[in-house]
A and B are shown apart, each in its own frame.
Chain A
Amino acid sequence: MHTLANIFHLGIKELRALKRDTALLVLIAYAFSLSVYSSANSMPEIPHRATMAVVDEDQSPLSRQILDAFQPPYFLPPVPADRAEMDSGMDRGRYTFTLDIPPTFQRDLLRGSATAIQLNVDATQVSQAFSGAGYIQQILTTEVSRFLDTTGGREPEAARAVIRARYNPNLTQSWFGAINAIINQITMLSIILTGAALIREREHGTIEHLLVMPVTPFQIMAAKVWSMGLVVLIAAVLSLEFIVGGWMAIPIRGSLSLFVAGAALHLFATTSMGIFFGTVARSMPQLGLLIILTLIPLQVLSGGMTPRESMPEAIQQIMLLAPTTHFVEFGQLLLFRGAGLSVVWPQLLALGTIGSVFFTFALFRLRQSMV
């Protein structure tokens, strides 16, 4: 009972301290509002304003029809070029794609003799290259069949593929970007807040002061976990409701209370991680480097940036130990696919387990580093 009271009061103290730190409050507000908005909108639709040069050696109605099909916002207007310009432009990164439509393309096609359009892709432009190439191929095929249909050169399609995307019918990038940004901010802020709070207490000597009172390291740590966790949780929920749901008008499925429960478990793990870093780092600069060195892999490899199943098997396995992996999955299941407790319980269980292990370990370290 007394333990609980201590944890509560020490936590209130943390909140009061945070309240006085205007710079940090501004940062938290920024992280969950403007930063979420801009991250969501910085991911262009694929392809978006792709640059393209075209060598049109055919100059036929069909070649013009094809060129007209490349429209903004997906493509910038194709630039007419000759073969030399086409190569040098791609070398300098001016064009991501170049098309070469051969002479007599339309005539060959109508005659039924084999012909080919050459599509060059700058493979260094990673994500745009791969998906853009598929997109361009599709446009070419569609335009050619439409042309042949109208000119009667071809039979109708034998079967049709009807492709529908579930949970995000228009595949709007910002939906995903916004939720992902919130998830990343939750992780980043909770680690930084608790880690820095611990180092600050040590630098100011207040942690020593606490330890000569009838207060245990467990209470000190639990107080930081609940108070910082609560701040981040409230900020995240507000951001989800008002920034994502309200301002950006992104439909959110799934129950909010379930999200809160999952986020709380995740925060349990990440705040413990912050405390752990606080015990490892001897100074703020070391904490800073440590945080950067862990945050990047956490964000990049947990499935929020690229699909997990495409990563090497070893990395997939290792990342199962990171709370973010489960939280990203949980977020997608819940917020996009509207899954309920019956579906997400394995993620919750994983988060709880990882959190407990981290907490115990950090507590052990804290006890050690204190004496």
Chain B
Amino acid sequence: MIDVFSNALSNALSNDSRDDCVARLAGVSLRYGRQVALDNVTLTLPARRMIGLIGPDGVGKSSLLALIAGARRLQEGTVEVLGGDMAKTAHRRRICPRIAYMPQGLGKNLYATLSVRENLDFFGRLFGQSRQERDRRIHELTQSTGLAPFVERPAGKLSGGMKQKLGLCCALIHDPDLLILDEPTTGVDPLSRRQFWELIERIRGARPGMTVVVATAYMDEAERFDWLVAMDDGQCLDQGEPSALLARTHSDSLESAFIALLPAAKRRGHESVKIPPRLGTSDTAIEAHGLTKRFGDFTAVDQVDFRIERGEIFGFLGSNGCGKSTTMKMLTGLLPFDAGEARLFGQPVDPGDIATRRRVGYMSQAFSLYGELSVRQNLELHARLFEIPAARRHPRCHALLDQFDLHHVADRLPGDLPLGIRQRLSLAVAVLHEPEILILDEPTSGVDPIARDYFWQLLIELSRSQSVTIFISTHFMNEALRCDRISLMHSGRVLDSDTPAALQAKRGCDSLEEAFIAYLRDALPPDSASSGERTAAVSASLLSSIDAQPATNGADLPRPVRFSLRRLFGYAGRESKELQRDPVRGAMALVGTLLLMFIMGYGITMDVENLRYAVLDRDQTTTSEAYTLNLTGSRYFDEQPALSDYDDLERRLQRGDISLAVEIPPNFGRDLKRGDTPEVAFWIDGAMPSRAQTIQGYVQGIHDTYLEQRDRMTSTSPAVFDVALRYRYNPDVQSLPAMVPAIIPLLLMMIPAMLTALGVVREKELGSITNFHVTPVSRLEFLIGKQLPYIALGLGNFLLLVALSVFVFEVPLKGSLAALTLAALLYILCATGLGFLISALFRSQIAAIFGTAIVTLIPAIQFSGMNYPVSAMEGGAALFGQLYPTAHFLTISRGIFSKALGIVDLWPDYVALLVAIPLLALFSFPGLKKQEA
């Protein structure tokens, strides 16, 4: 079926003029496990247009964009982008430099600890630009976007709007023909949003050949686009020019057009939100005066005042990071405030006061119920926590399931449910204990229009019939319009508070958005408010610098080079900068190894000493005393008070007071003289077998010595023979010289492997791995680039450890430092390679920690010859020990440290390490995908 389809399509393509479309999708389906993200989508996107993908969260917009960008692997169907099949690696590689992709989430593909310049520089390197070219482009891009004054600021410290601009600059640094933006303006204040779209317009003016594909949840934005694709439930509902869509659905706004496009089943029961007038009571429910919160030198909330009446719906309108959530958290008592006053029901807010919590319901910004509990279990848990009596608990939960229409999902996990239903559950939990105040922090972000209206109907019901005071924050203008009164917030300050109509009237604007923008322009310092104008002035330079001829035909573009040192060092440089800026990680790695070296060097002693023993002397003669003197004189033993009888012996052995009990039989002296061969009994505590064996050896030795001495004194029998025992390499049998060369390999394995593994898995978890997927960087460049900083760190670590051994522990390095360093370098390459292999297997950081611990700790300690030589092991352990790099480096380390050997003597181990490095890389390749699965 699909084959036929794609054949037909390619036939059609060959006849078609290719210039007219930038991407064609045919029969595309995508599944994540059992969940269907895209369901047989067939779509053609026209070239040189501004194309909008509209629809709520979770309908497959992002998946579709990721497929077009080549960031996600195609499962079913065909995707052709810029004249070639995206399933073909060669095509993807060829057109990759012509596509720019900015994933969803504010600054998700940016590196928070890197400055604006460093971020841009990194992307420039990935696209193989020379130093001069990068500097020129960074200068122009930052000038034209108004980021120029902030080039040295870390990306993580930029405001939402500036992050978006930086993301756009990163995407534009290589002059793409296809710009893919996934919800670029979600959560950004209206002024920044407007500036963002003006910027895009100017860039399109300069590069008319460029196609822009944007996903958005804001319908008002989408009205300005050239072409729209409406999506729902993984399917394409309709597409066309905005005016055509409106005409087809007989709607006056895109929002209502979208609702009209939805299948009938979804629309059923939907009615537009009507707000009945509030019956006036004027009791104050929430009150704040001069509320201020500082985080360090950053003032998050600055002198905020407001008063909310009982039963009122009060809105906070503002961008992400403007202080809405912080204010709400202070009111719930989650955050203490630095100055000002807040009152709930006339009582000052006290974080310690549990009683007020019972009167407040809070719904936080992110979904924060337990994903591991079913809907019903979540409700019941909260009912219990709010002490709803057992008799009322069940009916209450039942009533809520009814009221919020959750019955059909009662036994499912929230994680599997659409966002709209999850938000309903959150609200159900928030009102479970019938609070008088509801504090809702952006409850509807990402929820589709129908679910949002339904949600609002619930709110209105609560406010109007149950007189619940509702304090809600939002960045949707149409939601703000539904509130009784709103506060406009920006940078921690309330710009103004009033009814939406009054606010518009005050500024003389037709829409709330215009009014808000007018307020923002007043509030901003003059230079940044005019950044739009200034931008326009410099955009002339942008016009001249951007290559104005996009090649629409991909075939004539040169293939990007397969291996580029510039891209490799791009990754290496970025990784090491990140490492530098996370001092905790670096410090733990360096100080941690030194600390462990101390602990293990001093703590692990293989010589068993100070063994406590006691004697049960049942002879009590000078002969028996002479016998025990041998024990007393030994440095291994530490005599304890004599034993009185067998019970005492038993008890003290059991308590662990003594590890050896000596029983000298009655008549020992007499029997010895007579030659009756008396038997001295030794009782050893066998709980710790290795210690017991050592004691056994000591005891036998001491007994033999006694006999020998006695022989020499009493009889004529000659001293027979002697074992000349020589401990080689460590004649004094000290623990430190034996342990130090063994600990170095252990520590050098664990830390670099752990850091490398986390370095890669972090990118997966935080989302910046997309940059690897959508830029021309190859797997080998990524692999080496990511490892280089950790290799350097490992080498530094190694030198520290050697210095510590030689200067602090005074364990001499007998062989050549150069030879040892070479081996260490090879070994660290193995360690980081192993870390990389682990990172290819795991997706979450905690799993990577477990994985690294299991893969490095146990083999390195138990199977690599640290305590027991590899030759002493059998079967799997022995095989593992021989394959594992630690065993070889251990031999080298001991050889060079203690035996003064060189590469000539130890070459087989060097070779083994050399072979392991490419093998590890080879094994990690299959797990390291250039596309997301």
Residues of A bordering B, CB below 8 Å: 2, 5-6, 9-10, 12-13, 16-17, 19-21, 23, 27, 39, 42-44, 46-51, 76, 88, 90-93, 96, 105, 108-109, 112-131, 133-138, 140-141, 144, 148, 154-169, 171-173, 175-176, 192, 196, 200, 204-206, 208-216, 282-293, 296-297, 300-301, 305-307, 309-312, 315, 329, 332-333, 336-339, 343, 371
Q: Which of B74-82, B161-169, B256-264, B713-721 contacts A (4 or more CB under 8 A)?
A: B713-721
CA distance A312 to B731 in the complex (A): 21
What is the minimal beta-carbon distance from A303 to any residue of chain B, in angstroms?
9
Q: Which of B48-56, B93-101, B585-593, B775-783 contacts A (4 or more CB under 8 A)?
A: B585-593
What is the minimal beta-carbon distance from B905 to any residue of chain A, in angstroms?
6
B608: CB under 8 A from chain A?
yes
B684 x A166 contact (CB < 8 A)? yes
Q: How large is the interface on B (under 10, 10 to 19, 20 to 34, 35 or more residues)?
A: 35 or more
Given known pairs A176-B687, A293-B595, the reply for A122 and B729 (CB within 8 Å) is yes
B788: CB under 8 A from chain A?
no
Known: A88-B905, A213-B357. 13 other contacts (CB 8 A): A12-B381, A48-B868, A96-B871, A114-B718, A114-B722, A131-B694, A138-B697, A155-B715, A161-B679, A164-B684, A168-B687, A284-B849, A337-B655
What is the minimal beta-carbon distance from B117 to any residue of chain A, in angstroms?
26
B603 x A311 contact (CB < 8 A)? yes
Give every chain A residue within 8 A of B845 (Cβ-Cβ): 283-285, 288
B603 x A126 contact (CB < 8 A)? no
- B336, B656, B849: the one contacting A288 at CB < 8 Å is B849
Give every chain A residue within 8 A of B683 (Cβ-Cβ): 164, 166
**5 nearest interchain CB pairs?**
A134-B697, A288-B849, A165-B686, A168-B686, A123-B730
Taking CB atoms and an 8 Å cut-off, the chain B residues in 676-705 that contact chain A are 677-694, 696-701, 703-704
Give every chain B residue within 8 A of A122 (Cβ-Cβ): 728-729
Q: Chain A residue with minimal CB distance to B351? A: A371
CA distance A205 to B719 in the complex (A): 80
Q: Which of B365-373, B483-491, B492-500 contacts A (4 or more CB under 8 A)?
A: B365-373
B600: CB under 8 A from chain A?
yes
Residues of B bordering A, CB below 8 Å: 329, 332-336, 351, 354-355, 357-358, 360, 362, 364-366, 368-373, 377, 381-382, 384-387, 413, 584-585, 588-589, 592, 595-596, 599-600, 602-612, 638, 653-656, 668, 672, 675, 677-694, 696-701, 703-704, 706-707, 710-711, 715, 717-731, 733, 735, 737-739, 741-742, 750, 754, 758, 762, 844-850, 852-853, 857-858, 862-863, 865-869, 871-874, 877, 891, 894-895, 898-899, 901, 905-906
Give every chain A residue within 8 A of B335 (Cβ-Cβ): 371
Give every chain B residue within 8 A of A105 (Cβ-Cβ): 721
CA distance A125 to B733 in the complex (A): 11
A13 x B733 contact (CB < 8 A)? no
CA distance A114 to B721 in the complex (A): 6
A2 x B723 contact (CB < 8 A)? no
A209 x B599 contact (CB < 8 A)? no
CA distance A91 to B731 in the complex (A): 15
B693 x A212 contact (CB < 8 A)? no
A306 x B605 contact (CB < 8 A)? yes
A126 x B847 contact (CB < 8 A)? no
What is the minimal beta-carbon distance from B861 to any residue of chain A, in angstroms?
9
A214 x B354 contact (CB < 8 A)? yes
Given known pairs A124-B730, A306-B605, the reply for A154 and B599 (CB within 8 Å) is no
Q: Chain A residue with minimal CB distance to B585? A: A285
- A119, A175, A301: the one contacting B725 at CB < 8 Å is A119
CA distance A186 to B588 in the complex (A): 25
Interface centre among B351, B413, B603, B707 (most CB of A within 10 A): B603
- B386, B585, B718: the one contacting A214 at CB < 8 Å is B386
A128 x B696 contact (CB < 8 A)? no
A343 x B655 contact (CB < 8 A)? yes
CA distance A109 to B722 in the complex (A): 10
Given known pairs A44-B868, A114-B719, A116-B724, the reply for A301 and B599 (CB within 8 Å) is yes
- B589, B693, B848: the one contacting A46 at CB < 8 Å is B693
- B600, B704, B871: the one contacting A296 at CB < 8 Å is B600
24 interchain pairs, CB-CB under 8 A: A16-B377, A42-B877, A49-B873, A91-B899, A91-B901, A109-B720, A123-B898, A141-B723, A156-B677, A160-B677, A166-B684, A166-B686, A167-B687, A204-B371, A208-B329, A212-B362, A214-B355, A288-B848, A297-B596, A297-B599, A306-B603, A306-B605, A315-B602, A337-B685
Give every chain B residue within 8 A of A205 (Cβ-Cβ): 364-366, 368
Give every chain A residue within 8 A of B867 (Cβ-Cβ): 126-127
CA distance A92 to B706 in the complex (A): 38
CA distance A192 to B762 in the complex (A): 19
Give every chain A residue within 8 A of B605 (Cβ-Cβ): 306, 310-312
What is the minimal beta-carbon distance from B16 to any residue of chain A, in angstroms?
49
Given known pairs A96-B869, A285-B585, A290-B588, the reply for A297 and B704 (CB within 8 Å) is no
What is the minimal beta-carbon distance from A155 to any residue of chain B, in angstroms?
6
CA distance A167 to B654 in the complex (A): 9
Q: Chain B residue with minimal CB distance to A74? A: B872
A161 x B700 contact (CB < 8 A)? yes
Give every chain A residue within 8 A of B735 (Cβ-Cβ): 126
Q: Chain A residue with minimal CB distance to B661? A: A166
CA distance A48 to B875 in the complex (A): 14
Q: Chain B residue with minimal CB distance to A9? A: B384
Q: Chain A residue with minimal CB distance to B336? A: A371
CA distance A175 to B689 in the complex (A): 9
- A39, A134, A176, A208: the one contacting B364 at CB < 8 Å is A208
CA distance A114 to B585 in the complex (A): 63
B362 x A216 contact (CB < 8 A)? no
B721 x A163 contact (CB < 8 A)? no
A212 x B689 contact (CB < 8 A)? no
B688 x A332 contact (CB < 8 A)? yes
What is the minimal beta-carbon distance from B138 to any residue of chain A, in angstroms?
30
Give every chain A residue within 8 A of B762 (Cβ-Cβ): 285
Give every chain B residue within 8 A of A287 (Cβ-Cβ): 846, 849
Give every chain A residue within 8 A of B727 (Cβ-Cβ): 121, 123, 129, 133
CA distance A135 to B694 in the complex (A): 9
Given known pairs A162-B679, A371-B335, the reply for A343 and B654 (CB within 8 Å) is yes
B373 x A92 contact (CB < 8 A)? no
B685 x A286 contact (CB < 8 A)? no
B730 x A115 contact (CB < 8 A)? no
B599 x A289 contact (CB < 8 A)? no
Q: Chain B residue with minimal CB distance to A23? A: B847
A42 x B863 contact (CB < 8 A)? yes
Interface centre among B371, B690, B852, B866 (most CB of A within 10 A): B690
CA distance A124 to B741 in the complex (A): 9
B905 x A91 contact (CB < 8 A)? yes
A215 x B385 contact (CB < 8 A)? yes
- B600, B668, B725, B906: the one contacting A133 at CB < 8 Å is B725
- A46, A124, A282: the one contacting B729 at CB < 8 Å is A124
Give every chain A residue within 8 A of B844 (Cβ-Cβ): 284
B656 x A332 contact (CB < 8 A)? yes
A300 x B599 contact (CB < 8 A)? yes
Give every chain A residue within 8 A of B863 (Cβ-Cβ): 42
A130 x B723 contact (CB < 8 A)? no
A307 x B600 contact (CB < 8 A)? no
CA distance A1 to B847 in the complex (A): 38
A48 x B733 contact (CB < 8 A)? no
Given known pairs A214-B357, A306-B605, the reply for A159 and B678 (CB within 8 Å) is yes
What is the minimal beta-carbon distance from A266 to any residue of chain B, in angstroms?
17
CA distance A96 to B701 in the complex (A): 21
Give every chain B residue within 8 A of A165 (Cβ-Cβ): 684-686, 689, 692, 696
Interface centre among B354, B733, B868 (most CB of A within 10 A): B868
Give every chain A residue within 8 A of B684 (Cβ-Cβ): 163-166
B707 x A169 contact (CB < 8 A)? no
Q: Chain B residue with minimal CB distance to A27? A: B850
CA distance A298 to B931 in the complex (A): 42
What is the minimal beta-carbon distance from B347 to any residue of chain A, in angstroms?
16
Q: Chain A residue with minimal CB distance to B653? A: A166
Q: Chain B residue with minimal CB distance to A76? A: B871
